Chain A
Amino acid sequence: MSKVKNAAALRRSLFLVGAIALVTLSFATFHEVVKLQQGVDQPLYYSSRLEETGRMAREAGELFDYAEQYARGSDQYSYDDVILALDIFWSRVNSINTRSYTEAFGDKDIDSVLIPELAKALPSFDDAVRSLKSGEITSYEPLYDLKVRFSERLGKLAEFAWSRRTQMQTQLAVTNLNILSRIQHIQFGFVAIIVLFLSYVVSQLLITRRLNIKLHNLVEEKSTLLLTDPLTQIANRDGFEKYVNQLSAFEKPDFSIVLMDLDGFKEVNDALGHSVGDRLLKDVAYILSSQSAGEGLACRFGGDEFALVVPGALNAAEACAEHIRARVEALTLGQEYPIRFSISAGICHWSSLSGDCSIDEILSCADFSLYSAKEMGKNRIVIFQASMQEQYASRKLIHSLLPVAIAEQKIDVHFQPIVDLTKGRAIFALEALIRWNISEGHPIETKKLIEVAETNGQIKALTCLVLRRALRLSKRLHENNLTLNIAVNFSALLLSDPNLASEMTAILEEERVEETNIVLELSKYEEMEGNSVSNRNLIALSKMGFNFSIDDFGCTSSNIRTLLAVEDIRFKLAEEIVRDVVISNTARELLRGLVSFISAFDAMIVAGGVDQEEQAQIVQEVGIRYAQGDCFYSALSEDAAFDLVTNQ
């Protein structure tokens, strides 16, 4: 900072010095010019005096000459001429005999007494001229004497005056030249200052130019950085958008978006650490950029999400994506990590869009395709087609309408009774099920609804809505001295939320529930992480009075370890297991096996999807106590369920 200050101070002082110099030079020039002017006056003054001195000598000569001629009798000059010459000489002598003339001589050597002597002798001149007679040369004698007396001296004086005059003129010329030369030097000074100033200005311009170029480069660098993913050095989301905006600006945009997701990246990252994960990401990025080399753009959106912009027709994108998929599949991290990876991709071409053509739209379609690829088993490519449009549309519809529906409580909750087969099919418990009618009158498939809710983060809100309804009904029943368990479907993924326990507590307090007769039916159990957060939540919820049931049991793998964490767990058998028991003996045996497996835990079992009487009988025969299905009751509205239960 001080460096800058010093530079500024230096600049200021330089300017000051420059200004002073300019002013000084101007004054000096002015002074010299004045001297020039003055120089003219003085020499003029002396010069005229000296000239007159010369004249005097001449006028004397003329007088003597005319007088002599007249005395000789020549008629060249008349007497009047002689008198005139005398008068002129007379006045000349008197005028020279003044102070200004003696000043002009200056020299001490000169005949300074000559003039006063002449002045004194003037009357003699007068007498001498008066005594002149034409034709009588002797009448010239008095004048001749005067001539002898003064002529030579006059001549010398004139000579001196002449040389002095020349001398003065030379001096004047020299002085003026000197002045001019000084002025010239001063002008040089001016020019020098101006040149310095100009060079300063130019240097500043050059510096500024350099800085500008530097700045421009930095800005360009920064812009590029902003568009680049720091880890993988391929484009980031912003770079992607910029590129796609450019391409979509054409009249008939011809490109595809390929959205890609690494399968099982999370597990790799957790198992092998972030440095390995990062290496993997870089490798994938390399594959993407080398595959798209020259045409299109490889991008990383963050996490393990990648995208590719492939210009041209759809099959170009398809081919490209297939190559990438194959290469990622072949990827290894060396011998120390014998793990295989795969990548799922969803492709959408710009021309597949109908109606709203925008980046968000094409990304949504590609995303939908990607989701489908994942659903269908991963390590594959799905291309968005017009026929998917409807499915996509309804998903989009759910996505856009769901938050409002939840907020405005437009979603219905129905309850399906679970019966006790040993007690004459008396209603033992209820299961809460979502029914949502979008205004056109057709209900949304619950499975789809849950899917969308899970992807757009609405699952918690949805679950809480159902929970509150269930609590409300439970309270109503409790007021009528009836205690009934109500099962609420609960995505096991919610257990990973650290805020879950506190939020559940809040809901229970709001609904002012004394006894929590709620059973949380954990779905997607196999996808649940067995970490400390979920364990803590399980224990906390258990303490709050919630019971747990494993939903869809039997169809998927089980997380046995976590099962042990919870007391009094229940099992809801998947519908698929019950479905075939009538026709298939194997199914019956499987059912039996499952029952004996579960009975080791001494846990309650509920069989779902019992739609036929035969199924009910087999279920009861196998030893299952509780069942649920259309055979007994279908899902009822809250009021209908309430009436049914109270009237029982």
Chain B
Amino acid sequence: MLKVLESRILVFLLIATCMSAAAAEQRPIKVSTSDGSITFLLTSDVLSTLENTSFNATLPATDGAVRHVSGPLIRDVIKASGAPMGDLILKAFDGYEVVLPASDYKNIDVILAYKIDGKRFSLRERGPAWVVYPNEAYPELKGELYASRSVWQMSEIIVE
């Protein structure tokens, strides 16, 4: 079930309407700790300060083509948020939740991709952000486990 309350808060925080496809900026991803001590928003200002990493990857639930993705490393995101480097709960707009272990984002260059093939992508295109593993460079990152962690339509990150 959608978190209706949450979307209302989002609307309140967002400046523009979400009519346009390029509504990604209106839905910044929130990074918070589970006890609520830290709350951090990945606004476009924040994003512009973070260094972007790009690589090729195949995205799950697509036609299998290799795409070029780019975005900040998740560990940089967590660092920037000021939260401790613990396990993450990734949440998506469709209600999907999955645990991303700290070892994954510490040891692997898994990114929060904001651009696919150089372009931002809309909610309909499973934006605003997609967790992507560099599975072309490291084929062992293909497979169901990592696919289940390659969350699209990212809405929130909770740090445990």
Contacts and interface: CB of A to CB of B under 8 A. Distances in A.
A562 interface: no
Interface in A47-84: 48, 52, 55, 59, 62, 77-78, 80-81, 83-84
Nearest 6 Cβ contacts at the A-B interface = A87-B123, A95-B61, A90-B124, A91-B126, A44-B144, A45-B144
B122 to A, nearest CB: 7
Interface string A89-132: 01110111011110000000000000000000000000000000
A41 B145 CA distance: 8
B53 interface: no
A98 B61 contact: yes
A80 B2 contact: no
Contact of A81 (B4, B61, B62, B64): B4
A317 interface: no
Contacts of A244: none
Contacts of B7: 80-81, 84
A255 B125 CA distance: 120
B93 A80 contact: no
B22 interface: no
B33 interface: no
B15 to A, nearest CB: 13
Interface majority SS (helix, strand, loop, mixed), chain B? loop
A88 B17 contact: no
A156 to B, nearest CB: 21
Contacts of A90: 124
A103 to B, nearest CB: 12
B62 A84 contact: no
Contacts of B143: 41
30 contacts: A41-B144, A45-B144, A48-B144, A52-B61, A55-B95, A62-B2, A78-B8, A78-B11, A80-B7, A80-B18, A81-B2, A81-B7, A83-B18, A83-B19, A84-B2, A84-B18, A84-B93, A87-B123, A88-B2, A88-B94, A88-B153, A91-B94, A91-B124, A95-B61, A95-B62, A98-B61, A98-B64, A99-B63, A100-B61, A101-B61
A100 B143 CA distance: 12
Contacts of B19: 83
Nearest to A58: B1
A85 B144 contact: no
B148 interface: yes
A252 B4 CA distance: 115
Interface string B46-86: 00000000000000111110000000000000000000000
A96 B61 CA distance: 7
A577 B44 CA distance: 162
Nearest to A59: B94
A48 B148 contact: yes
Contacts of A83: 18-19
A84 B123 contact: yes
Contact of B93 (A88, A94, A101): A88
Contacts of B8: 78
Nearest to A95: B61
B152 interface: yes
Nearest to A85: B2
Nearest to A92: B94
Nearest to A96: B61
A31 B60 CA distance: 30
A99 B2 contact: no
A81 B63 CA distance: 29
Contacts of B11: 78, 80
Contacts of A88: 2, 93-94, 123, 153
Contacts of A98: 61-64
A59 B126 CA distance: 15
Given A88-B153, A99-B64, 6 more contacts: A80-B17, A80-B18, A85-B2, A88-B93, A95-B61, A98-B64
**Chain A CB within 10 A, most for which of B2, B62, B122, B152:** B2
Contacts of B122: 87
Contact of A91 (B17, B123, B148): B123
Contacts of A62: 2
Interface in A446-483: none
Interface string B117-146: 000001111100000000000000001100
**Chain B CB within 10 A, most for which of A78, A81, A91, A94:** A91
A45 B145 CA distance: 9
Contacts of A44: 144, 148
Contacts of B123: 84, 87-88, 91
